Structure 1
């Protein structure tokens, strides 16, 4: 062991003195490794190998994994596209001791330097490139602006947009060294700054759409995180992508895209004009144009809400909302699209809003959520505003996409992508013909997709979010049978990390609520884990876990029934008879995971990264579950569960169903543990 320590010291000590002028920013996640531990040894191996691997790559990009769980480490390094091999290697090598200084003994660190990005983690984040994204970090230059802020912001936005376009288009030329990398230079007004410089880059493993989406998110956030600071440059940094601008040259070589001086002084409202949106159909486009018009919307909204003395609170909400992409629709457009919100276009109705199907003049199908008029509208406005605030900042394939919103007099409307297949409960509980069309591959995809959506909300989005109302009819299913989490009206943002908080107002759906939340109002990410566990059990068994008003007669406690079968070793009977062979083994494993998620003590429930590993890796051993939380009591009024129809034997290696058929064959369902 001492020899391993000396090897690690020999690796790290030569790297302990980075250049004095080296800029860096470090972000740390939870979890620490012990000194002289296996994790530290594995980290030393990475520090020895990764710098050479990334410098040898034409794209200046490399990933690596070493060790085994719980000491497995995943790592990524990306060098700036204009750095040479030796500079790239030195930057990545300096990142490891830099990470140790910034986040001592942390298992999960991202370190950003002028020449490279490095992340290592005990989480398998490399599995989610282009799907999940660690929250971005923002940094501004030291120098203060000497130019008018509106002029400079518009100039910087124009340059950044052009540079992003160039970076995304660079992959088409087939040069791996320049994939998703571009530099820009803009000549604007010598009175203030002769030139402004820009840079955009993504990891080469992303798709062009993913790269553009992440960089567009950074640009959309610039007015709030960068431009408001009155500085002459800034960075938006993420593990997968990064963006930078400055009045001082900071990259080597000539600019890949150049903007000439405009004929007149730019305004913020003209900084970005995406194509493809015409007339009333799209209202006002995303990016800088949305930022300019938002000022007018804020003024109007403040006037309307001044009657209820909540203008400041709402202004803050819309400031946050505008960090994401937004399209402002006018009311006549939505009236026309939905047939004046006619009954035949109604898709559904909830406590605060009615959802209508609409068709825009360009043929795009949309779903419009319209606040219900009348009593309780004040609470409805709070809920729907919360949904805008949350959704406008989120971009993920397993979350429903908010297209925009509309303010009309005292009404507020949200516009979503239209999901043709409707919600998951229609496949599981309502329409028997549709329910039977779900095969195991689709069920697996739905369960894993929901987990990835939760992973984004809990761990990887720019705002930490607890949904609080995950249930089958809040999961929409698109044409590709991919799930999309919807209805963020009750979502709660977590500030300052995943600390447990309390709420005086418990909201949600009985049957999916964790006991500590339903009884005591305790809010933590583990309440979403409980809801996810219920969903998993519902999907695998195709039986509803009913709450106080979900069932017509008897209250069905699915958790009690599943646990009864599990403890008797007869759980296989609750799975579809159509499942045979390996899918049946997977279904049994997923019931096991579902039970782990619905444990009474939140500390006994796994976190969402662990759940994704359990779902994705069948060789990962699962802990045995304890009795789940029976929120509705152990004495269920439902009929005897169907598991009592056969005799099952369960041990640590397999579940065996023994039932004599006509030809006296024995059926065995093996379930590796």
Structure 2
């Protein structure tokens, strides 16, 4: 045999090779040849079975994952296309701009714990409001349009289109919206201190507004309205300025909210008109409440009413004014101003640490804002200069606009509530037919 011919004594390594004409021999301490499948399978049948089992499990799993991923992608693509169609149907050419602000209904449900009572904040003219926490940890206020709300889908669309284009320190921060099925949701940055009316009129409030806080709130509201009228890329008339639409953040900085009734005007346009009069009684300028004419000066009127409410701590139209127009706040302030007893207007809860100069100036500005003639009312630019300067001499105010005669006013006051009032032109027919001399009540 060839193995007997191996010269073991001359080998200087652990392996070697002998070559003959018809055969050759190689030997090593390691396996240098490849076994056939049959040999391997005859030697390790269990390993082969195990490998087959792994293949049978892994391959179908990979295929299922791929199919699931493709299906999920197609469903997401279809959902996105559906949401885009909804956006396009509701917002037209603005849909591309608004798409990043659109939230899914499932996200809203998760944020509010399925609209849990524990997350409930309150209810307004739009609907119910809930506190929510988004997946990224942001605290938000979620306004859910109720089907019985006096504000409808058009007001919802108007607010989305408008507030998405506005950004200012004294405007509420808009996060996004949800429009799915019958649900219409607005999402705002959460502000912890509720609204201004809570501090002014709620007998259960726990925190008294100091004079400094009130004066700063007035200044913040002025800056917010000035931005809407003059400094934003749009000229916006809010049309529903009132304390319940002024939110207060953790630093008591005012944030103007609720833009469902706001109107965009051309920069060169001085006023607009409508047959569908909307707003809240007690804050509506007489030319708007009676004839549907709105302008920057109608917002100025509403601001003037708010200013007087802030310093007096009383509503313009309240239970004490429902039977006699002469008892409303504007008339009361005008009487005290004429009688030269303006300090009696000050909210009695403010007993000390107030500036008499600032207080008198606020009364005078408030009365100027509620003048009967819109042209006699100052612009927001002028009001801002009045508040910021102690050297400007303010003009003397004239008698405020006590619109609506006593019988009509009593009926209106009885309807007054915290929600926005919607009035159509037919309901104002009897008012519009009255002469100007009968409409405004002399003192």
Q: TM-score, normalised by structure 1?
A: 0.46
Structure-2 change in CA distance of 1:516 and 1:319 (3 Å): farther
Query: Is 2:391 the counterpart of 1:605?
Result: no
Alignment equivalent of 1:429, drawn from 195, 201, 216: 201
Counterpart contact for 1:464–1:495, Cα < 8 Å? yes
Counterpart contact for 2:195–2:245, Cα < 8 Å? yes
Q: Equivalent residue for 2:209?
A: 438
2-side partners of 1:429 and 1:420: how far apart?
18
Secondary structure of the residue aligned to 1:599 is coil
Structure-2 change in CA distance of 1:341 and 1:604 (3 Å): same
Q: Equivalent residue for 2:91?
A: 314
2-side partners of 1:320 and 1:512: how far apart?
34
Query: Is 2:115 the counterpart of 1:299?
Result: no
Q: Equivalent residue for 1:359?
A: 133
2-side partners of 1:632 and 1:425: how far apart?
25
Query: Is 2:286 the counterpart of 1:515?
Result: yes
Query: Is 2:174 the counterpart of 1:402?
Result: yes
Q: Equivalent residue for 1:565?
A: 336
In the TM superposition, what are the counterparts of 1:196-595 in structure 2 within 5 Å? Answer: 297-302=83-88, 311=89, 314-316=91-93, 318=95, 321=98, 326-373=100-147, 380-431=152-203, 433-434=205-206, 437-546=208-317, 556-576=327-347, 578=350, 580=352, 583-595=355-367
Higher relative contact order by CA 8 Å / sep ≥ 6: 1 or 2?
2
Structure-2 change in CA distance of 1:572 and 1:539 (3 Å): same
Counterpart contact for 1:358–1:368, Cα < 8 Å? yes
In the TM superposition, what are the counterparts of 1:104-123 in structure 2 within 5 Å? Answer: none
Alignment equivalent of 1:630, drawn from 398, 402, 415: 402
Please give the per-residue CA displacement for 1:533-577, whole angstroms capped at 9, x wherever unaligned: 001100111111117x99788775100000011111111111145
Structure-2 change in CA distance of 1:342 and 1:331 (3 Å): same
Q: 1:359 Cα deviation (Å)?
A: 1.9
2-side partners of 1:337 and 1:599: how far apart?
46
Counterpart contact for 2:192–2:250, Cα < 8 Å? yes
1-side partners of 2:320 and 2:179: how far apart?
34
Secondary structure of the residue aligned to 1:412 is strand
Secondary structure of the residue aligned to 1:506 is strand
Q: 1:405 Cα deviation (Å)?
A: 1.2
2-side partners of 1:444 and 1:594: how far apart?
13
Q: Equivalent residue for 2:10?
A: none
Gaps of 5+ in 1: 1-292, 303-310, 638-673
Q: Equivalent residue for 1:15?
A: none
Q: 1:632 Cα deviation (Å)?
A: 4.8
Q: 1:505 Cα deviation (Å)?
A: 0.5
Structure-2 change in CA distance of 1:497 and 1:362 (3 Å): same
Secondary structure of the residue aligned to 2:355 is helix
Structure-2 change in CA distance of 1:333 and 1:600 (3 Å): same
More helix by share: 2
1-side partners of 2:363 and 2:357: how far apart?
10
Secondary structure of the residue aligned to 1:442 is helix
Counterpart contact for 2:127–2:149, Cα < 8 Å? no
Aligned length in residues: 329
Please give the per-residue CA displacement for 1:239-275, whole angstroms capped at 9, x wherever unaligned: xxxxxxxxxxxxxxxxxxxxxxxxxxxxxxxxxxxxx
Please give the per-residue CA displacement for 1:15-63, whole angstroms capped at 9, x wherever unaligned: xxxxxxxxxxxxxxxxxxxxxxxxxxxxxxxxxxxxxxxxxxxxxxxxx
Counterpart contact for 2:321–2:328, Cα < 8 Å? no
